[in-house]
């Protein structure tokens, strides 16, 4: 075990609109049976990183509950383990986490008490699959102080919501801008970093002295000329659920065979907390095309080009198209839902009509539900 892991799962993102009212971004359900943080966690576990700290803060209840048992991701309890750090009042400080670097700073003993030489930091709201050992070897070969995993985006894609980097021929990062109005390259930072543990402790201690709180602005960008910061290009699928559109598109990506094969039919697996739900049931009148259906669902209507999450009930004569139905939703008969994201635990009355006209409509409807 050469590295310990840190997953930053504390932030909020207002561009997720109503969806972030219910849960932390990293607890957003993805691809039917998973939550966003499962990808980072599974990658850590599959890369044999046995000790992982998860920093939670905003709307942490469902996330903490999801992480309550480390056994689903195979984190050994005697050697290593899964540590969930939510801000706590101590003798030294009673602040919430004021930024990504501050979160690490308030839990510096976690880093100090470990003996592994490297730290892999990942944000929890990215959907990707990688072996961190490859980045670690690259980091060691380049004698880097920090390695930033990055990805070339397609030219048409608008990159102004990402961190943009420019590397020289040896992949050393020369420029790093956070969310620039005019981007100079299309290489974005994936939010995944490898640092030497002692180095990280030093940099964080400096941040504490200077009252600086953000990992990207105060550590990466500030030190880019003084430290050897290198970029590692990620070629496979990577997506980040920062906005409602990104979240919607990421889920829809799983309808494509290459993406779902890459994540689900290639070793190693992605793990998640097991929910003990019965198999999906398709009654007469069920008509499914090009969709993902999860366990525990009972379908009586038409579902096209959609992702239906766990334990949802779709009534008779319904028409669901191009939508995401989150967990435990009850959709009454004769309902039309198109271009929508239906929030989890909603109860939608019969004969409803919801259609997203310009972009995705988020449907939040809580009516009384009569349990049979």
Partner 1 sequence: MIKKEMIAMLLAGGQGSRLGVLTSKVAKPAVAFGGKYRIIDFPLSNCINSGIDTVGVLTQYQPLRLNTHIGIGIPWDLDRNIGGVTVLPPYEKSVNSEWYTGTANAIYQNMDYMDSFNPEYVLILGGDHIYKMDYEVMLEFHKEKGAEVTIAVMPVPIEEAKRFGIMITDNDKQITDFEEKPENPRSNLASMGIYIFSWKTLKEALLANSDQLGLDFGKHIIPYCHQRQAPLFAYEFNGYWKDVGTLESYWVANMELIDIVPEFNLYEEYWKIYTKSEILPPQYIADDSWVERSIVGEGTRIFGKVYNSVIGCGVTIGKDTVVRDSIIMNHTDIGDGCELNKAIIAENVTVGNGVKMGVGEELPNETEPHIYSHGIVTIGEKSVIPEGITIGKNSVVFGVTAASDYPEAYLGSGKTLIKAGDES
Which residues bind to partner 1, rule: CB under 8 A? 31-34, 71, 255, 260, 263-264, 269-272, 274, 276, 278-296, 298, 307-309, 371
Contact 26, 6 (CB under 8 A): no
* Of residues 67 and 201, the one with the C-beta less far from partner 1: 67
Least CB distance from residue 325 to partner 1, whole Å?
Answer: 12
| Phi, psi dihedrals of residue 337, rounded to the nearest 5° | -130, 120
> In the numeric block, which tokens belong to residue 357?
């006209």
Nearer to partner 1 among residue 190 and residue 252 (C-beta): 252
Within 10 A of 291 (CB to CB), how many other CB atoms are there? 20
Of residues 41 and 288, the one with the C-beta less far from partner 1: 288
225: number of Cβ within 10 Å: 9
Give yes or no for a contact between 132 and 206, defined as CB atoms under 8 angstroms apart.
Answer: no
Q: CB 34 → partner 1: shortest distance, Å?
A: 7
Q: Which is nearer to partner 1, 138 or 254 (CB)?
A: 254
In 10 A of CB 80, how many CB atoms? 20
Q: How far is the CB of 291 from partner 1 (least distance, A)?
A: 6
- Report yes or no: 46 and 93 within 8 Å, Cβ to Cβ: no
For tokens 């561009």, the residue is: 15
Q: Cβ 370 to partner 1, closest distance in Å? A: 14
Distance, CA of 116 to CA of 61 (rounded, Å): 30
Q: Which residue's entry shows tokens 């003990």?
A: 276
Least distance to partner 1, CB of residue 306, Å? 10
DSSP state of 366: B
* β partners of residue 325: 308, 342
With contact defined as beta carbons under 8 Å apart, do 327 and 310 qualify? yes
From CA 305, how far away is CA 183, in angstroms rounded? 34
> Which of 60, 303 has the CB closer to partner 1?
303
Q: How far is the CB of 51 from partner 1 (least distance, A)?
A: 22
Eight-class DSSP state of 43: H
Toward partner 1, which CB reaches closer, 21 or 283? Answer: 283
Closer by beta carbon to partner 1, 162 or else 248: 248
Q: What is the nearest approach in angstroms of partner 1 to the Cβ of residue 272?
A: 6
Return the number of the residue (120 or 292) whose C-beta is nearest partner 1. 292
CB of 279 to partner 1, least distance (A): 4
Between the two ends of the chain, the Cα-to-Cα distance in Å is: 51
Strand partners for 187: 152
């Amino acid at each position: 075990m050469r590295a310990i892991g840190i997953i930053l799962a504390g932030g909020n993102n207002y561009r997720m609109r109503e969806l972030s009212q219910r849960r932390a971004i990293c607890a957003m359900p993805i691809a039917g049976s998973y939550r966003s943080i499962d990808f980072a966690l599974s990658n850590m576990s599959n890369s044999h990183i046995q000790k992982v700290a998860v920093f939670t803060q905003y709307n942490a209840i469902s996330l903490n509950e999801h992480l309550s048992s480390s056994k689903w991701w195979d984190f050994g309890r005697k050697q290593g383990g899964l540590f969930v750090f939510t801000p706590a009042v101590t003798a030294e400080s009673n602040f919430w986490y004021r930024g990504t670097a501050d979160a690490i700073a308030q839990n510096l003993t976690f880093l100090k008490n470990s003996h592994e030489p490297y730290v892999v930091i990942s944000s929890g709201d990215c959907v990707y699959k990688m072996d961190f050992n490859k980045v670690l070897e690259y980091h060691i070969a380049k004698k880097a102080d920090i390695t930033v995993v990055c990805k070339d985006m397609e030219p048409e894609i608008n990159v102004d919501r990402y961190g943009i980097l420019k590397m020289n021929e040896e992949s050393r990062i020369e420029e790093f801008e956070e969310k620039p109005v005019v981007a100079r390259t299309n290489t974005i930072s994936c939010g995944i970093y490898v640092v030497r543990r002692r180095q990280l402790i030093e940099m964080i201690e400096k941040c504490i002295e200077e009252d600086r709180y953000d990992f990207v602005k105060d550590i990466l960008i500030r030190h880019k000329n003084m430290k050897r910061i290198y970029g590692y290009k990620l070629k496979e699928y990577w997506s980040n659920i920062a906005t409602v559109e990104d979240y919607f598109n990421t889920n829809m990506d799983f309808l494509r065979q290459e993406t779902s094969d890459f994540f689900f039919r290639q070793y190693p697996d992605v793990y998640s907390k097991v929910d003990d739900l019965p198999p999906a049931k398709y009654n007469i009148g069920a008509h499914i095309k090009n969709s993902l259906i999860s366990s525990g669902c009972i379908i009586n209507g038409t579902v096209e080009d959609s992702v239906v999450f766990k334990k949802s009930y779709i009534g008779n004569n319904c028409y669901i198209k191009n939508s995401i139905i989150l967990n435990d939703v009850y959709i009454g008969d004769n309902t039309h839902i198109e271009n929508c994201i239906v929030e989890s635990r909603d109860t939608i009355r019969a004969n409803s009509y919801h259609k997203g006209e310009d972009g995705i409509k988020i449907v939040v409807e809580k009516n009384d539900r009569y349990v049979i």
